[in-house]
Amino acid sequence: MNTIKLSKEDKKIIAKKSSEDGFNEAIEIIYSEISIQKHEYILNELSLRHTVWTGFINTEINTAVVIETGLGAVVATISAVVDHVYAIYLDDDTKAIVEARVNKKEFKNRDINHYLISEVPKNLVFNYDETLLVAYAEGNTLVRNAFFKINDLYNINYYYFVDNSELFSKTGHNKYLTNAVRYHIEGTPRDPFKLTSQANKIYQFGGLKYFIFNIYSKYTGKYIVETNLNIDKSFYISVANEFFGIKSYNVRDIFFIKPNGILLLIECPDNQYMLRITSDELGKNRLYNNNSTLRLLNKKNIDFIPTLSGEKRISNHCCSVEECINGRNINSDDLNDKDIKEKIYKQAIEKLIIFQRLTLSQAILIDDTYDRLIKIPFLKSKSQFSSKFHHVFDALEIYIKNSFSNKTLPLVLYHGDYSADNLMIQNENITGIIDWEYAIQNCLPLMDLIFLFCNVFKKQNNVSIIRAMYEVVILENIGKNENDEIYLYCETFNIKKNLIKPLSIMCIVYFIAYRLESNSKISRSGMFDENFSNLLLAIKKSLNI
C-alpha cells in the first residue's frame, strides 16, 4: 500500500486536538477523517518504524538533539535511551503535537526540551563528545538544511542522518563518503577500492563521527556504525599472509561495520571471499555459530551454502573467510514483481526444506529440551524489558507450553535470519544462503519461514520489522501464496495446523532473544518497551490470555 504523509492541514488538526484533548484522542479523531493511505503513515509513526537502532548505540551517548518532523516517534524512543533530549521542529504544529504526546505519564521522568528551529538558543550546554544529532531528511531540503545549521551551531561529534544519497551528494558533502571509505580500508596494501552498488550502502563519512543511512535504495543495504576494532596496515597484511599466502588483496566492498565487527568482500587472484572480523564475546559467539554451521552443511555438500575456507585468531581478533557465492541480494524491485516474488518464495522454501531435512530430528518439549527451546528464549526476551511487561511474557509462555504439551515436534536447523537480505540470487534463481551467525541446531520448525514473510512485508511496505510481525503474525495479513507455502512446509514436516500460531509467536520471541541481543552499555529496557509494547499487547489480546 502506498503511504501518503499527512498534510499541513492534517497536522494543524492533530496539533489543535492534541493541545485540547491529548495526543491519543487527536489521533483517533484524525484517523476517522483521513484516507487509508494516510492511516499507513500514522501506523508507521506509532510503530516507531525508524528507531529500533537506538538500542544499539555503543558510544556513551547521554544527550540527543533530534530534528523531529513526524508525530514524535524519534523523540519518544530516543528519550527512553538517553538522559537528555533537545527536540528541534521546523513548524509550530509538529512541536505542539509532540509536546502533547510526551505530556503523557510515561514520559514524566524524561528530560525533553522543545524548540523551533528559528528559536534554538546558541548557548545550549551539553557535552559534544556525548551527544548525538539525529535527523531523517528523506529527501526534504528543509530538514537537510536544519541538520547542517545545528551542525554548524554546536559542532556535535556524533550524527545519525538518513537521506537519499543521490540528493545528499548535491549538497557538496559527498567528499565525506570517499574519506570514510579511505579510512576504513586504510592500510590495505593497494588502493583499488571502488564503490560497488553505491546506492544500496550505508556509509559512515568524515572519519568515525558521522552516520548516513540511505533508505531509498532499490538494493538491500547494510549499515555502518562506529567501530572499536584496532585494525591497521599490519593487520591486513597478516590476514593476507595467514589466509591466502599472499602479500595483498583488493577490498572490493564493505558490507557492514559494527562496533566490534566487520564484514568485507575481498578479491584475491584465485577467487572472491567474505572476510569476517570480530573481537567481543558476543561477536565471537556469532562467528562460532556461523562457522560451525557452515562446517556442518559443507559436509552435506549443499551447493547453495558458502564454503568455509578458514578461521584464525589474528592480533586478538577472531577472523574467518568463506568463498563468495555468485549473485546479489534480493531487492525491493524483485519483491514488487509478482512473478519474481513467487519464484523466489518457491525456491526459498525448497532450499529451507533441503537443509532442514538434512538435520531433522524429533522430540517432545519436556525437561532440558523445553528449557533450551522455550524457557531460555523467554527469559532472555523478558530480561530486555522493564518489569511492567514481564506478565505478558509469563502469559505467553504458559500459552506456548500448553500448545506444545505432549506433542512431538520436528527439530531442525534454524537459520535465525532467513530474510531477503541473506538470500543471494542470479537471473531470478536463488544461488546461496548466507550469514549463519544466529543459527541454532535442533531448534523449532517454521520460524525461519515466518520470519522471511515478515522481512518481505517490511521491505515491500517500508515499515519496521515490528510492524511487519504485527501484520503477518497477528493479523495474518499474508497472501494465498504465503499460506500455501506455510501449509506445504507443515505437510513436509508433519506439523499440525493448530501449531502454526504458537510457532509464529516463537519466531517473535527468538527475534527479541537472539537477533536483537547486544553488548550495548546503555540500559535498553526503555527502548524495548517503546518499540514492542503495542506488538506484545496485541499478541496477548489476540490470544485472549
Partner residues linked to 424 by β-bridges:
329, 432
The pLDDT of residue 196: 33
Average pLDDT over residues 32-60: 67
Provide CATH 3.30.200.20 ranges for the chain.
233-323
Closest CA to 166 of 199, 204, 136, 143: 199
75-101 pLDDT tens trace: 988 888 888 999 999 999 999 999 988
The pLDDT of residue 490: 95
Residue range 8-163 in CATH 3.40.50.720: no
- Would the CA dihedral through 354, 356, 357, 359 be positive or negative? positive
Q: Is the pLDDT of residue 220 over 80?
A: no
Q: Name the superfamily (CATH) of residues 233-323.
A: Phosphorylase Kinase; domain 1 (3.30.200.20)
Q: Is the pLDDT of residue 521 over 70?
A: no
Residues 6+ apart with CB under 8 A from 2: 37, 40
φ/ψ of 387, rounded to 5, equals: -60, -25
Helix, strand, coil % in the chain, rounded to nearest 5: 50, 15, 35
Provide CATH 3.90.1200 ranges for the chain.
328-543
Provide CATH 3.40.50.150 ranges for the chain.
8-163
181-217 pLDDT tens trace: 334 433 333 332 333 333 223 333 222 233 333 322 2
Residue range 328-543 in CATH 3.90.1200: yes
Write the single-letter amino acid at 497: K
Give CA–CA dist 540/545, Å, rounded: 6
Q: What radius of gyration, in Å, describes the C-alpha atoms of the chain?
A: 24
Of residues 484 and 232, which shows the higher confidence score?
484
The pLDDT of residue 446: 98
The pLDDT of residue 241: 83
- A 10 A CB-CB count for 104 gives 12
What Cα–Cα distance (Å) separates residue 457 from each residue in 367, 467, 474? 36, 9, 13
327-361 pLDDT tens trace: 888 887 888 888 998 999 999 999 999 999 999 99
**pLDDT category of residue 527 using cuts at 50, 70 and 90:** low
Closest CA to 445 of 368, 523, 362, 376: 362
Ranges assigned E (strand) in 300-342: 308-314, 317-323, 328-329
**Helices 338-357, 480-492: crossing angle, 10 deg rounding:** 10
Burial string for 330-365 (b: 16+ CB within 10 Å, else e) reads bbbebbeeeeebebbbebbbebbbebbeebeeeeeb
